[in-house]
Structure 1
Amino acid sequence: MDLDVFVIGGVGVDTIVRVPGLPLKDVETIRVEPIETYVAHTGHGVTLGCHLLGMHAGLADVIGDDDEGHRIRRLYDELRMPLHVAIHPSGTRHSVNLVSPDGRRMSLYDARHPAGLVVDPDLWRTNVVRARHVHVSIMDFARHALADAVAADCTVSTDLHDWDGRNDYHKDFATAADIVFVSTSQLPPDAVDWIFKNGRAEVVVAMSGADGSYLHIRDQAPQHIPPVKLSNRPVVDSNGAGDAYVAAFLARYLDGVSWYEAALAGSIAGAWACGSPGTHTDLITAEELAARSQPRAIGG
């Protein structure tokens, strides 16, 4: 197997608007800092994060034959990361993210691909069998890759993001993955138990932003992973922090460490990502993660 992590779905472009505060005032015009655009979105964040942590990582997705799609392809060429794409006339996904001075964000997400989109499974099949681990983003087309990922000789993860524990859209992903990441923002108390009862997950990681995260291992009591504060990297932008967490968790998991150590690495990587403006502009490297994983190094 020559791919450590193969990500299916989730690349696009973010336009970041730094606003004076959230919610916005009800006025006609608000002066803001220079508006910037980045290659971004959840699948890209996991792929790039794993790449910077020393993993051989690649991505497959549906993009457009447009300026945003060309920009994505150029970046992957420059980074020498494998990229496999299907071109769709609806174009490349785009988000406009409003970011407040304390790093909070509101994302206006233009998914643009039609519901029920189906693509040629050769987009992912060749690479699924080459990978040690497959991460499936919750793109609608990607649900058709779940069976191939489960059948391959690899482990599978997904990120349900702000799942409310009820929306049927997420359930195929929740039940197919060995490792499930999810935000606590909308999560009801019974959702983790539902995943364990109905799926194959060995671990569910519930990410809670400034409150840290919660590690749920099958048949064990949950563990709270405290938030990490890096004294030399104050929070300026939370865009991409969850993706950074996932990437570091997967990289350390593939290194063979315990679930707890993988979650701690995720916390460090997420905190690091919050210390730079924009999306995925300065993700943590393997060397930086190792240095900050030492005792008493987290505050530095």
Structure 2
Amino acid sequence: MRVLCVGHVNWDVTLRVSSLPDPDGETSITDQSQAGGGSASNTAAGLVGLGVDTTLVGSVGDDESGLLALHELSRLGVNCDPILTVDGGETTVKYLVVDEDGQVMILANDGVNEAFTAEAVDDDHLQSADHLHLTGQDPETAATLADRGIAAGLSVSVDPGRRICDRDYSAAAARADYLFVNDRELNCATVDSLTDRARVTVCKRGNDGAELRGGETGSHPGYDIEPVDTAGAGDAFAAGFLAAVFDGRDSAAALAVGNACGALASRDIGARTDLSWGAIEQFQQDH
């Protein structure tokens, strides 16, 4: 399978703290690190680790953060050729504040991660792909790309992310073979009837596992782990679930793989982890 991943390309600064501070409070930073982030980038990196040929579309600035993000993705094997570099633009940087329980608070600058438009994906990109994965981005861009992907014969998945509560993704969801949401997002998705529009909704529940609703049903209980950092766990789940579907596995097996990938990501600091089929199989044997 060849996947076209479209969405945010960020640079992440992760700050480990003893606890998240109260308003007007203070806490100690125990560790800090930097690495690439962004939902589309994280999913693309996970797919490549699982042997899926993946091309990424997004936008970065021509600053140091953008250069670092592109270098890291290219090193991992993601095709970054279509990524737009904005002259004089500022790459979106997100500051992930992670407490000792692995819970995450995110601070971000606006940056240029939505400077790209649907026109950034030319017909050649679509014709050379088998599947289109759309993550948090301008909803109109997502809907337009979903239409073009379907017209080109691609299957489509949509993972709107935490801004699903603030933006109208109904048009994109109506075109989705798979819509990914987590527990918090599910409440908003239900209100907006997004889950009724997608063919299948994949509900990500962290340590409580995952389930399918809509055209397919099923569930997996998840894996009991102590999370270190939950940032990017949902993106790792999506990569694992999709890679398993592409590999011909049934829904139950795909949910198990997705949960394993999310758990593996939660055990590492940062929004990405090195995913591989070997690591998944070893994790499942151990749990």
TM-score (normalizing by structure 2):
0.88
Q: Kindly tell me: are residues 193 and 292 of structure 1, through their superposed partners in 2, closer, same or farther at Cα, counting changes over 3 Å?
A: farther
Equivalent in 222, 230, 238 of residue 227 of structure 1: 222
Q: Deviations over 1:143-192 (max 9, x none)?
A: 2322211212221101122366x655222322221110011114239829
Residue of structure 2 equivalent to 1:258: 250
Contact 1:146-1:173 at 8 Å conserved across structures: yes
Q: Kindly tell me: are residues 46 and 114 of structure 1, through their superposed partners in 2, closer, same or farther at Cα, counting changes over 3 Å?
A: closer
1:7 aligns with 2:5: yes
Structure 1 window deviating more from structure 2 (17-26 vs 125-134): it is 17-26
Deviation at 1:20, TM superposition (A): 1.3
Q: What does residue range 1-300 of structure 1 map to in structure 2 within 5 Å?
A: 4-24=2-22, 26-27=24-25, 29-83=26-80, 84-88=82-86, 89-113=88-112, 119=117, 121-140=119-138, 142-143=141-142, 144-162=144-162, 167-188=166-187, 191=190, 194-195=193-194, 197=196, 199=197, 201-218=198-215, 222-230=217-225, 234-280=226-272, 282-293=273-284, 297-299=285-287
Q: Deviations over 1:79-134 (max 9, x none)?
A: 3321021123442111111100010001113233498x563614343212111111
**Distance (Å, rounded) in 1 between the aligned partners of 2:168 and 2:239:** 24
**Distance (Å, rounded) in 1 between the aligned partners of 2:117 and 2:192:** 33
**Distance (Å, rounded) in 2 between the aligned partners of 1:258 and 1:193:** 29
Give the secondary-structure state (helix, strand or coil) at the position aligned to 1:54: coil
Give the secondary-structure state (helix, strand or coil) at the position aligned to 2:71: helix
Letter in 1 for 2:204: M
Across the aligned residues of Structure 1 and Structure 2, the Cα RMSD in angstroms comes to 2.5
Contact 2:231-2:271 at 8 Å conserved across structures: yes
Q: Deviations over 1:257-291 (max 9, x none)?
A: 112211111001101111111221x2321111133
**Distance (Å, rounded) in 2 between the aligned partners of 1:210 and 1:98:** 20
Q: Kindly tell me: are residues 273 and 120 of structure 1, through their superposed partners in 2, closer, same or farther at Cα, counting changes over 3 Å?
A: closer
Give the secondary-structure state (helix, strand or coil) at the position aligned to 1:51: helix
Contact 1:8-1:124 at 8 Å conserved across structures: no
Letter in 1 for 2:218: Q
Contact 1:17-1:36 at 8 Å conserved across structures: yes
Q: Kindly tell me: are residues 72 and 208 of structure 1, through their superposed partners in 2, closer, same or farther at Cα, counting changes over 3 Å?
A: same
**Distance (Å, rounded) in 1 between the aligned partners of 2:12 and 2:227:** 19
The aligned length equals 283
Runs of 5+ in structure 2 lacking a partner? none
Give the secondary-structure state (helix, strand or coil) at the position aligned to 1:139: coil
**Distance (Å, rounded) in 1 between the aligned partners of 2:263 and 2:210:** 12
**Distance (Å, rounded) in 2 between the aligned partners of 1:275 and 1:122:** 35
- Identity across matched positions, percent: 24
Deviation at 1:19, TM superposition (A): 1.2
Letter in 2 for 1:285: S
Contact 2:98-2:105 at 8 Å conserved across structures: yes
Letter in 1 for 2:152: A
TM-score (normalizing by structure 1):
0.85
Q: Deviations over 1:2-27 (max 9, x none)?
A: x6211011211111111111244633
Flag the structure with higher helix content.
Answer: 2
**Distance (Å, rounded) in 1 between the aligned partners of 2:262 and 2:175:** 25
Letter in 2 for 1:8: V
Give the secondary-structure state (helix, strand or coil) at the position aligned to 1:185: helix
Deviation at 1:53, TM superposition (A): 0.8
**Distance (Å, rounded) in 1 between the aligned partners of 2:105 and 2:111:** 18
Q: Kindly tell me: are residues 157 and 18 of structure 1, through their superposed partners in 2, closer, same or farther at Cα, counting changes over 3 Å?
A: same
